Amino acid sequence: MLEDSAADGMPRYARLQKILEERLNNGTYPVGSLIPPEIELAAEFATSRTTIREALRYLRERGYVERKQGVGTRVVSDTSKSTYYQSFGSLEELFQVSVETFYVIMDMRAVTLDIETAELVGGLAGEEWMLINGVRWTEPGGKPICYIQSYVPKRFEDVVREEFPDHQGPFFTLLERHADGPIEEAVQEIRALPMPADIIRQLGLKPGSWSLQLLRRYVTDSGTLIASFNWHPADQMTYVMHIHRSKETGTE
């Protein structure tokens, strides 16, 4: 049901987006299955087909579902198909070849605005996180290129606060020195995805903004280090970087 009591200023189609997205995530609509047709959804939520279509448009643009005339709306949330995997033999390779090249390409300098405690959706349980807000500029005093939201385990807070302002090299070499072991292998995924509508609203981006997502997995001998980096450019262009490790990745 879609009571107006839940109307926290959001339009109806936006609330439907959230509800349907939740169903995709909690398994109500499994990957590969067809979700109910528009007409059924419209009946269930007591709304018009137009509103349902507006919500489904969002899910399609996010790549969650694919729609085909005469067939239906199928869950395709398996993003692995839209991902390019790249392996690195050493961290130096990863940093120098990939991260730093992006820095060079954009020729940007970062400024840290503030640090606050944050909750990472889908993060590992038991791990506390902090959110680092920052801005990158074309040059000192120049115009802002993008906003950065970096999710980092809270146990690195002291490290970041004390050492980062003077840190010269890649940000992650700083974290690595305080991680629970040397990082021996890394895998990087590069994705391009539309920006979530709520982030667009929150940051005042243009509708239709994108994100270029770098997802990186570290593998150490002992544990898991996860950090998530979101770049929200001041304008149309958007980069989102996610850095984490996963147990499944072998050390071979």
Partner DNA sequence: GACTTCTAAATGTCCATACTTATGCTAGGG
Partner DNA sequence: CCCTAGCATAAGTATGGACATTTAGAAGTC
Q: Is residue 246 close enough to count as binding its own copies by CB under 8 A?
A: no
Question: Measuring CA to CA, which residue among 200, 215, 211 is closest to residue 237?
Answer: 211
**What is the Cα–Cα distance from 252 to 98, expressed in whole angstroms?**
21
Q: Under rule CB under 7 A, how many of the chain's residues touch DNA?
A: 24
Residue 178 touches which of its own copies, DNA, none (CB < 5 to 8 A by kind)?
Answer: none
Q: Pick from 1, 46, 105, 125 the residue near its own copies by CB under 8 A.
A: 105
Q: Is residue 135 close enough to count as binding its own copies by CB under 8 A?
A: no
Smallest distance, DNA to C-beta of residue 52, A: 8
Smallest distance, its own copies to C-beta of residue 10, A: 16
Contact (Cβ atoms closer than 8 angstroms) between residue 147 and residue 135: yes
Q: Pick from 123, 237, 242, 249 the residue near its own copies by CB under 8 A.
A: 237
DSSP state of 183: E
Work out the widest C-alpha separation in the chain, in whole angstroms: 59
Q: Give the pair of three-digit tokens for residue 66.
A: 């694919």
Q: Pick from 20, 24, 51, 186 the residue near DNA by CB under 7 A.
A: 51
Contact (Cβ atoms closer than 8 angstroms) between residue 172 and residue 159: no
Residue 223 touches which of DNA, its own copies, none (CB < 5 to 8 A by kind)?
Answer: none
Q: How wide is the angle at C-alpha 116 spanned by C-alphas 113 and 25, nearest 5°?
A: 115
Residue 206 touches which of DNA, its own copies, none (CB < 5 to 8 A by kind)?
Answer: its own copies
Q: Is residue 169 close enough to count as binding DNA by CB under 7 A?
A: no
CB atoms under 10 Å from CB of 192, counted, come to 15
Q: Specify the DSSP element, H or E, that contains 22.
A: helix 12-25
Q: Give me the sign of the Cα torsion angle 69, 26, 193, 59.
A: positive
Query: Which residues from 64-83 bind DNA, rule CB under 7 A?
Result: 67-73
Q: Is residue 212 close enough to count as binding its own copies by CB under 8 A?
A: yes
Contact (Cβ atoms closer than 8 angstroms) between residue 183 and residue 219: yes
Residue 19 touches which of DNA, its own copies, none (CB < 5 to 8 A by kind)?
Answer: none
Residue 33 touches which of its own copies, DNA, none (CB < 5 to 8 A by kind)?
Answer: none
Contact (Cβ atoms closer than 8 angstroms) between residue 129 and residue 153: yes
Smallest distance, DNA to C-beta of residue 64, A: 14
DSSP 3-state assignment of 61? helix
Smallest distance, its own copies to C-beta of residue 121, A: 21
Q: Is residue 66 close enough to count as binding its own copies by CB under 8 A?
A: yes
Q: Give the pair of three-digit tokens for residue 233.
A: 């450019």
Q: Is residue 37 close enough to count as binding DNA by CB under 7 A?
A: yes
Listed ranges 50-58, 120-128, 129-137, 218-226: which one lies at the site for DNA (CB under 7 A): 50-58
> Residues interacting with DNA, by CB under 7 A?
11-14, 35, 37-39, 46-51, 53-54, 56, 67-73
